[in-house]
């Protein structure tokens, strides 16, 4: 497990927030919010829930995937891996799979920071879909934390994409370079 952590250590900057309340919002799911509010009506949660951040994060992931592969020509620039658009689309399905995004969420330690359910016995934190959504919400929150600066966010996500690409290519017996 330690070696996997090194793979993702460069993506830790995704967790650096100038406004920590955005990270807390990214970690808070609707179910937790509803359970909390039913028990604590006089003490509402201030940060809100992550639903919109999940959608924004997905849109940003798609935007930057296209940016990296079609406009910056990564990883073709140095490795000449892909010859056709269909190869890039196929890789997108592998790279951005729920499993890969969930794996990165776990490696970043998001699992321990998530607010999914008040029930401590809930197994929701182990659900790949929820873990992937958490990573997407963090990316969406970073957009606002970085003052909607797409260039700063590009630098953060480029490292994430390169890690995802390497993992996906290795898992699928492909090579870059």
Picking from 68, 73, 75, the residue whose alpha carbon sits closest to that of residue 177 is: 75
- Span 67-84, pLDDT tens digits: 887 776 565 555 556 667
C-alpha dihedral (139, 142, 146, 147), degrees to nearest 10: 100
Identify the residue with better confidence: 119 or 141. 141
Sequence spans of domains, the chain = 2-171
Identify the residue with better confidence: 103 or 166. 103
- For CA atoms 112, 115, 121, 125, the dihedral sign is negative
- Average pLDDT along the chain: 84
Give percent of the chain with pLDDT exceeding 90: 51
Find out whether 101 and 136 touch, Cβ atoms under 8 Å.
Answer: yes
- For CA atoms 85, 90, 95, 97, the dihedral sign is positive
Q: pLDDT-derived band of residue 39, with 50, 70 and 90 as boundaries?
A: very high
pLDDT (0 to 100) of residue 149: 94
Return the CATH number of the domain spanning residue range 2-171.
Answer: 1.10.1520.10
């Amino acid at each position: 497990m330690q070696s996997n952590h090194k793979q993702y250590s460069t993506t830790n900057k995704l967790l650096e927030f100038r406004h920590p309340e955005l990270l807390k919002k990214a970690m808070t799911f609707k179910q937790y919010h509803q359970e909390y509010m039913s028990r604590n009506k006089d003490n509402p949660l201030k940060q809100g829930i992550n639903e919109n951040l999940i959608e924004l994060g997905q849109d940003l992931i798609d935007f930057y995937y296209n940016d990296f592969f079609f406009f910056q020509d990564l990883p073709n620039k140095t490795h000449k891996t892909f010859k056709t658009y269909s190869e890039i689309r196929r890789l997108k399905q592998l790279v951005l799979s729920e499993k890969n995004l969930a794996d990165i969420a776990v490696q970043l330690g998001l699992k321990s920071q998530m607010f999914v359910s008040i029930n401590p016995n809930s197994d929701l934190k182990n659900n790949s879909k929820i873990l992937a959504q958490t990573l997407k919400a963090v990316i969406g929150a970073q957009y606002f934390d970085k003052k909607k600066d797409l260039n700063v966010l590009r630098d953060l996500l480029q490292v994430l994409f390169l890690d995802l690409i390497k993992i996906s290519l290795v898992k699928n017996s492909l090579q870059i370079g």
